[in-house]
Amino acid sequence: MDTHTASPLESISLDPRRWIAFAVVLAAGFMDLLDVTIVNVAVPSIQKDLGAAYSQIEWIIAAYVLSFAAVLITGGRLGDIFGRKRLFLVGMTGFTVASLLCGLAGSPAVLIGSRFAQGAMAGLMVPQILAIIRVTFPKSERAKAIAIYSGVGGSASAVGLALGGLLVQGNLFGLEWRPIFLVNVPVGVLALIATALVMRDSRAPHAPRLDIPGMTLAVSAVLLLVYPLTEGRRLGWPAWTFVMIVAAAALFTAFIGYERWRARTIGSPLVDPALFRSRPFTVGLASWLLFWIGFGGFFLIWTLFMQAGLGWSPMRAGLTSVFFAVGAVAGAGTSVSALAPRFGKWVLLAGGAVTALGFALYGGMATHYESGFASWQMVLPLLVTGIGFGIVVAPTIDMLLGQIPDREAGAASGLLNTGQQLGMALGVALVGILFFTQLDHDSARGVNAVAAQTRTELSAAGIPAPAADEILANFRACVRDRSAEIDPSAVPAGCKTATPANRAVANTLTHAGQDANAVNFAHTFDRTLEWGIGLMALVCLGFLALPKNVRLEPHETDPSETELVEV
């Protein structure tokens, strides 16, 4: 192709298959974000089937986003070097195979390993999506494509909860939780066929070299930080967990120093220090990371509250989460199409504030209704939280990319995606620590809330006052031990041995235990969401650093920086 006589964007705009190609990458992006949260509602089923410890469940959730974050920037560089279509095909193939391995896993270790592989393959696939959109569509169509991609991406995390609940409860072919992964296989195969037939390839003509030392330092630092945060509570915080956290800080410092040195000498650093010369971009990136830390934790404690706290089935929890998805789609669509182009950064601040309002409303209602919190009563806080989420997620990447030169947009996009995935992983680890520590600390609240009614029922069952006092003392110890458990679904040994032989008394204590557990989870959920509100306040402060005139605009790709490959 003669790029001197016709611009690549003009030539590609004549390709009638471009919207089919877009549908393929849209499906791939949706599958990726779906798999971040789809596991959450399947936790009880996975634990029961595989006999997994709760710390292993945390790793099943976090492994995906960790390996994704580790591979993401390198995946973008590989696409620049070897061709984006080629890397997309490799990533999609690996993602499909890893999904199959997840669905066939017979032990927690195999499932964790398969989730690491699944995330790594997504790290090869996803960076190509925005690049493919940028070089496939002319300016007149690109804004529409980005808006659709942002809206779908903004709702995928919540849709994952709903779809996961339906698949687990449906127990297709007696496979229990396994269809949440196996559903990716036919979708992946169809996407591979469509990609091979309709997608054009492109690459950077002056491709950067891979920064292997930088990648090693970055991945090592992330793992040294997240591993002790995930395992520390289960192991009682031994000294080596703090040593690992200090070592992570040292490696992050070494990584920054090495990247600066490489930029001055060899060139092609994994993260170009020039990106951080833009103060708005740097502060915006920090805000983006904090936003995803907040939502990584929210998705974890939200599903814990519904299932382990209120005792809901996966289907009920999943269907309730649909209201968040509806809010996310509405917020994303309105933000990209109407609000962000007109009001710029103030839309992001409004989104953060609406999210904080949703958190406050949800937490307040949880403490008000406690064990009686119904699905229909969650509609309002979930819609508000979802709208705030969608308003922020949809336009942020494009706005932050507008703070840097176009030639650095690819690297910056990879960095923003890495911040999203790393934030999710850190959110699961950090908020998990906060949630369970608070649950343990506040265990007496639930017993106090049900003690009077339980005493009345014991008296009605003919239990003498001294015996009722002993039963209530044992009941209090059982609730305390259960709140201190690493696994929120576990029943401590003391609770099993303290079960009375009298069936009426046993039923009374069972119902009292369920109500006390729900009360404890409701108040812990509220206190943990207060932490999320604080994060959203910091997110809003960070977005204030963006220039007043920032707007949502489609970015041009310099034709001289992209080489099209005919296939």
Residue 130 has phi, psi (to 5 degrees) of -65, -35
**Pairwise CA distance, residues 408 & 412, whole Å:** 6
Query: How is 385-418 classified by DSSP, letter by letter?
Result: HHHHHHHHHHHHHHHHHTTS-GGGHHHHHHHHHH
pLDDT tier for residue 254 given thresholds of 50, 70 and 90:
very high
Overall average pLDDT of the 255-283 stretch: 87
Q: Tell me: the pLDDT tens digits for 176-192?
A: 889 989 989 998 899 89
Mean pLDDT of the chain: 82
Q: Between 18-37 and 127-136, two packed helices, what is the crossing angle to 10 degrees?
A: 160
pLDDT tier for residue 269 given thresholds of 50, 70 and 90:
confident
Overall average pLDDT of the 280-306 stretch: 89
H-run or E-run covering 543: helix 503-543
Q: Tell me: the pLDDT tens digits for 25-81?
A: 888 878 877 777 778 778 778 888 888 877 788 788 778 877 887 787 778 778 877
Q: Say what percent of the chain tops pLDDT 70.
A: 87
CATH 1.20.1250.20 fits 8-210+268-441+522-565, yes or no: yes
Instruction: Specify the pLDDT at position 274.
Output: 82
Contacts of 79 (CB under 8 A, 6+ apart): 86, 87, 88, 127, 128, 131, 203
Q: Between 139-170 and 379-401, two packed helices, what is the crossing angle to 10 degrees?
A: 140
**Pairwise CA distance, residues 139 & 144, whole Å:** 9
pTM of the model: 0.83
**Pairwise CA distance, residues 447 & 443, whole Å:** 7
Residue 553 pLDDT more than 60? no
How many Å separate Cα 132 from the centre of its chain?
24
Q: Tell me: the pLDDT tens digits for 443-467?
A: 888 888 888 888 888 888 888 888 8
Give residue for tokens 């970055």: 218
Instruction: Specify the pLDDT at position 150.
Output: 67
How many Å separate Cα 559 from the centre of its chain?
34
Overall average pLDDT of the 208-228 stretch: 83
| Tokens (6 digits) for 238 | 């031994």
